[in-house]
Structure 1
Amino acid sequence: MPMPQEYQLASQQYEAFLLDAMESMDLVTRNRTYTCVQATLLAFRNRLTAEQVLAFADTLPVVLRAIFTSGWSRDDFNPEFGTMEDWVADAKALRRLHNFSDDETPAGVAKVLHRHVDLPHFEQVLQQIGPDAMRFWGFESTAEAETS
């Protein structure tokens, strides 16, 4: 069996994502962009169970999947999903002296990520995780949509 294309093209896909994120979020360097993306991914990851971490990781392009799971420990789990303010605070806390995340960072990363994933699969996994996960990544949950 030949090497899967997602692995063959991993670097190009990551570079395209990083450039899109840098431009969309009006950042000036790849390092700043990487930190904002990593901070957002980790802020989300720490709110997931082990099973949810693995399910969500499977929705991400290869390099983002590696960033998402790198250094992961079950001990990082925070059972309180929190609010947007909590997510922003967590994103800003990563490498505090070298982090350019702002109040819009998680939402900005979410918008870019939507353009680089299999969106129906991504949304399906988020629905399985729950309404907080849907909100984190900029979707209205099914339950909220039905009550609107």
Structure 2
Amino acid sequence: MKTFSLIGTLGIAAVLGIGGYALAQQAQVTALRTDPVNAPNRLGPDFQWKGKEGKMQRNYRQQPPLIPHSIAQYQMDLRVNQCLSCHDWSKAGERNAPTLSMTHYLDRSGMETDHIAGTRYFCNQCHVPQADVAPLVSNTFVPSSPAVR
């Protein structure tokens, strides 16, 4: 009796699994990313730098600042972070660029270091180039008031 119920349960699971797989294959899911996952990410024409000068306002408190210039040709990988050539504390003054927040120089235990923390090395985890484009997904978000710079 136990064998029969085990076989029946496995049969139902197989039918449901195959049916779910078939439904998933029929669904027309489109990805927001157009490049393969293992390929470099290319910015589409909507996200190319439009030459807008000045900083855009932030939408909420604690929002990371938007990048007010093109980064299309910037190298950012395990060996090189081209953002640091201007924004690192040792170079920002001579390059007339904003200095990174001191939080970028805290290691995991909260100790201050002279070099950027590994957890903050990839700038695009939080900062994105500013672009005046329509949202990818419709929403009802309203910026906080007053606007924050």
Both proteins in one fold, TM over 0.5: no
Question: TM-score normalised to the size of structure 1?
Answer: 0.25
Rg larger in structure: 2
Question: TM-score normalised to the size of structure 2?
Answer: 0.25
Is the helix fraction higher in 1 or 2?
Answer: 1
